[in-house]
Structure 1
Amino acid sequence: MAMAMRTMNSAPGARGRGSPGFARSTKPMVKSRRSSAVTAASASGVAETLAHVVGVCVVTGACVRSLPQILRIHKSRSAKGLSLGSFTWESIGLTLVLAYNVSREYPLSTYAECIALVIQDVIVACQIFYFRHGFAKSATPFALSAVGGVAMCATLFWWLPAQPFGAQALLSLNAVAGLIVNGSRLPQIVMNLKRGNTGELSWVTQALNVCGSIARIFTTLTLTQDILNLALQVTGLLLNGTLLAQCYRTIQMRRSGELVDDDVDAVVEEPKLA
């Protein structure tokens, strides 16, 4: 019996897990698995690093996003074809996003673009009102808007976070903010359709918006995988792409002589948001 057991244990196909042969046979498999895990982790690390770099580029681009639009209005001394509602609603939505991120104490790099975009939106909105109505008629609306802006910021950044329900309220407002920012594109799109052209709307600014949307889709997929944010970014890309296409169409019309700048000053009533 003992001889039979020794014979069976010494057979080539009967080596146990503790035998040297088994250990040698499993080493390549273990190394392969470890190598695959290291490769996957390395690829994931590269993707995350790239996403952070893209995020910094988005913030940098946001600092100059509306600069072409501001300079175009200043140079032409006209705000023809620009929707005041679009810039106003976007600034409100971005302020809500900013308040939420500040309350959560997120890194500044994750939302810094909102600060730059709000400032630029306010400048463009002031330009639109000034060049349409003149300084005399703009002074009172400017003052009221300033008071309203200060009151809104005081509520969002100081009063609301101190309340017991503040965190939940800001979370809800942040969800609504994405819809407001995307919805702010609609008045401009509708105005362009009614006019048949984009007037003084800067195609460079719209191109930067498209690039920013694509970049944010990438960073969302890589860093957070947040379905709601991804849906909002995709929707934003479609709307920004529509505006860019409208700008391209206007450029083609001007080149062909179908549209003359002096003819684009028709007064079109802005669409109102319900």
Structure 2
Amino acid sequence: SVYPTRRAVSQRSAAAPVWRPLVKMRAATGEGVVPFQAARRRLGRTSPIEQPRRRAGAILKARAASENVLQVALSKAFGYSLMTGSFMLEVPQIVKIWAAKSAKGISAASRYWAVPMYSSSVVYHILEKYPFSCYGENLVILLQNFAIVGLLWYYNRTPVKEVAGVTGAFVAMTALQFQLPPGLRPALIYANIPCMLGAYVPQIVENHRAGNTGQLAILPAALKCVGCAMRVFTTLTQIGMDIALLANFILSLVLNAILVFQGWVMRENTARANAAAAVGPA
């Protein structure tokens, strides 16, 4: 037989620990000595000794592949569900401003920072050719923030110069972002960190000073907390260890959690302040 018996293998292994079995096998040019593993592959046969090990390895590989497919499928389902839910994310805020005919309590600076924060994320994902399920909700939320900024301008009677300046700066910034070379693209996400702080910190400070959250809707912040947690999972499964994206999602989770906490703690003060504001004009 071409294959050594178990007894022969054990005897040779004891005599030479680094023993590597060789067999003679006819090559194209004549007789030659080739490694035992290569000979076995050429013969298309597997030693009975190694069959269980190979079978176990194949089972583990198949199991890992099936688990990976399941994770990716679940991740995509999360991504598209987030995108679907994002259509209603800022709608409560828009409706609240529209119904009250007032943008009191809404920080304009926060919304100005929120627009480039979401637009930079959309541009980064597009340039990196990431799956749409990984960033679709950012595009939807960006459009909703456009609507909120428009309402702020309308009800606060924002000067035309400010409107033109903010709009021009945003257009120029977005055009420049699309021209970035691949090596500088991660800067789009890292730059979101100060944008995120600029979007949330003024609102948090304003809530603290006023002692209430005014017309600020807390539900979107709560939904963002859930969305950020899900985005951490989808990023790890569909994209990988993208530190910039993960840092953004975790920071956003923390900041939105602070807003939710403020809304809960200040809910009574907010109700009294809104009631007084509604009675005042009458």
Deviation at 1:98, TM superposition (A): 2.5
Matched residue, 1:272: none
Quote the offset at 1:93 in angstroms.
2.0
Indicate how the Cα distance of structure 1 residues 102 and 227 shifts in structure 2: closer, same or farther if over 3 A, else same: closer
Contact in 1 for aligned 2:215/2:274 (Cα 8 Å): no
Match of 1:49 among 67, 70, 73: 73
Higher relative contact order (CA 8 A, sep 6+): 1
What TM-score comes out, normalization by structure 2 length? 0.74
Correspondence for 1:67 among 61, 77, 91? 91
Tell me the equivalent position of 2:152: 128
CA-to-partner distance for each residue in 1:193-237, whole Å, 9 max, x for gaps? 111111111122111111111111111222312233222211111
Q: Percent identity?
A: 26
1:261 matched to 2:274? The reply is yes
Does 2:7 align with 1:14? yes
Alignment of 1:48-197 (within 5 A): 48-133=72-157, 137-157=158-178, 160-161=179-180, 166-197=181-212
Which of 214, 234, 250 is the aligned partner of 2:250?
234
Q: Does 1:39 align with 2:63?
A: yes
8 Å contact from structure 1 (residues 87, 121) kept in 2: yes
Counterpart amino acid of residue 43 in structure 1: E
Amino acid at match of 1:229: L
Change over 3 Å in CA distance of 1:249–1:264 after alignment to 2: farther
Q: Cα offset for 1:52?
A: 1.3
Q: Shift in Å at residue 130 of structure 1?
A: 2.4
Equivalent pair of 1:192/1:246 in contact (CA under 8 Å): yes
CA deviations on 1:40-68 (whole Å, 9 max, x unpaired) are 22111101111111111222222321111
Which entry has the higher C-alpha Rg, 1 or 2? 2
Distance 1:227 1:236, change over 3 A: same
Q: Deviations over 1:155-195 (max 9, x none)?
A: 334xx35xxxx444444233212442344211111111111
Report which of the two has the higher share of strand: 2
Q: Is the 8 A contact 1:96 1:173 kept in 2?
A: yes
Please give the secondary structure, in 1, of the residue aligned with 2:214: coil
Contact 2:214–2:273 (CA<8 Å) still a contact in 1? no
| Paired AA for residue 69 in structure 2 | G
Number of aligned residue pairs: 240
Partner of 1:247: 263
Closer/same/farther in 2, CA of residues 167 and 44 from structure 1, 3 Å limit:
closer
Contact preservation (8 Å) 1:98, 1:111: yes
Alpha-carbon displacement from aligned partner over 1:56-100 (angstroms, at most 9, x marks no partner): 122222232111100011111122211111111010122222233
Aligned-pair CA distance for 1:139: 4.2
1:147–1:23 distance in 2 versus 1, CA, 3 Å: closer
What is the aligned-residue RMSD (CA, Å)?
2.8
Q: Shift of the alpha carbon at 1:23?
A: 4.2
Q: Whole-Å Cα distance in 2 between the matches of residues 236 and 131 of structure 1?
A: 28
Mapped partners of 1:95, 1:57: distance in 2: 20
In 2 relative to 1, CA 260–151 (structure 1 residues): closer, same or farther, beyond 3 Å? closer
- Give TM-score, length-normalised by structure 1: 0.75
Whether contact under 8 Å (1:197, 1:264) holds in the other structure is no
Q: Helix, strand or coil for the counterpart of 1:198?
A: coil
Contact 1:179 1:232 in 2 (8 A): no
Q: CA deviation at 1:260?
A: 4.2
User: CA, structure 1 residues 167+194, in 2 after alignment: closer, same or farther (shift >3 Å)?
Assistant: same
Deviation at 1:129, TM superposition (A): 3.1
TM-aligned CA distance change 1:185 to 1:260, over 3 Å = closer
